[in-house]
Structure 1
Amino acid sequence: MKTGILIALIIVAASTLMPGIARAQEDERIAKSMESLKAMTASLGPPRLEGTEAVGGTEAPALYFGTTRINNNFDIVDAVGREDGSGMTATLFVKSGDDYIRVSTSVPQPDGSRAQGTLLEGPALEAIKAGKAFYGQVPILGRPYITGYEPMKDSSGAQIGIYYVGYFHCWYCQR
């Protein structure tokens, strides 16, 4: 009888602790990838907007880090995914009016193509508009992702875009 109670207590304790441990690992993974994305872009120079360029059929402000144009350039966002090695996606957004447009992304659309030119929507948008970072689970193009979003500012301190990292996460899809 005591053995059965002990086993039941161990199962309850494990099921209570595991989500917390998993969440801590997710948070660490997102933080590491965000740090990597920001370091890769910073190594090119400060962010700035200059001119416009079409991305995914949408005209958007052209984002530069130093002299490197980022619109339609996937080197950095793809490098973040390779570095993580397990499905991390990355995006660099530019601010255009009240919208934020994906100008460089490894986030896939349902057909497998890059989500270039699509707009940021959902709960992260309000935090970003308030100049704050957002970390948490959000739907991206209808799929659940564990994410991190941080405002991108130019040398004058004006918010010109967003840094994003995240990965598809669907616990019920993995059964």
Structure 2
Amino acid sequence: MKWNYSFFSLLMAVSFIAAGALLPGLSVAQDAKVKAAMEVMKSKAENLGPPKIEGSDTVAGKQVPAIYFGSTKMNNNYDLVDGVVMQAGGTATIFVKSGANFVRVATNIKKDDGSRAIGTVLDPKGKAIASIQKDKPFYGEVDILGKLYVTGYEPIHDAANHVIGIYYVGYKK
């Protein structure tokens, strides 16, 4: 009986060590996947042209600035975000800066009712916004509409180098 208890203890210790060794690898793999998806997003956006704000538009009943890549308006246009997801999986969003907030104007993140979460605002108290306000990218775990995601957020700059929006990509955890 004593041998079985010792064997069981040893087996448990080895299991915890193995789990600890594997989980960081999983995290690194998820981070690499997010960074690769972000490169797809930025490359596709760059192919459309330089980012700019031109006028305003209504998104989910809210009046917000209209964000463009070249001559392609992103507000209520899902081609870019859906193209990223077709190529890299996960979820993708374009946010536009509207006052102190960042509003989802193109996304494939779904609300509980199955509709696209356009018009929703990036959590003003979240980890991502703190980095974006410092003009720095954010990569990490974030709660989005009640679900945990491994994410990447990067500022979108106009020709004058002002932050006018945010690129987002992520994967449900």
TM over 0.5: yes
Q: Percent of aligned positions with the same letter in both sequences?
A: 44
Q: What letter is aligned with 1:43?
A: N
List runs of 5+ in structure 2 lacking aligned partners: none
Q: Structure 2 length normalisation: TM-score?
A: 0.90
> What is the one-letter code of the residue matched to 2:78?
F
Deviation, structure 1 residue 84 = 2.2
CA deviations on 1:92-147 (whole Å, 9 max, x unpaired) are 01111111011111111111100111110022111111111111111111111111
* Residue number in structure 2 paired with 1:94: 96
Separation (CA, whole Å) in 1 of partners of 2:60 and 2:172: 22
Question: 2 CA distance for matches of 1:168 and 1:159?
Answer: 27
Report the Cα offset of residue 79 of structure 1.
1.2
1:141 to 139, 145, 157: 145
| Rg larger in structure | 2
Q: 2:130 aligns with which of 118, 126, 130?
A: 126
SS of residue matched to 2:161: coil
What CA RMSD, in Å, does the superposition of the two structures yield over aligned residues?
Answer: 1.7
- Calculate the TM-score normalised by the size of structure 1: 0.89
Structure 1 stretches (4+) deviating beyond 4 angstroms?
5-9
| Distance in 2, Cα, partners of 1:12 & 1:146 | 23
Counterpart mapping for 1:1-150 below 5 A: 4=7, 7-85=11-89, 88-121=90-123, 122-150=126-154
Check whether the contact 2:107–2:118 (CA below 8 A) recurs between aligned residues: yes
Amino acid in structure 2 at the alignment position of 1:97: G
Deviation at 1:16, TM superposition (A): 1.1
Q: Secondary structure at the match of 2:16?
A: helix
Unaligned runs of 5+ in 1: 170-175
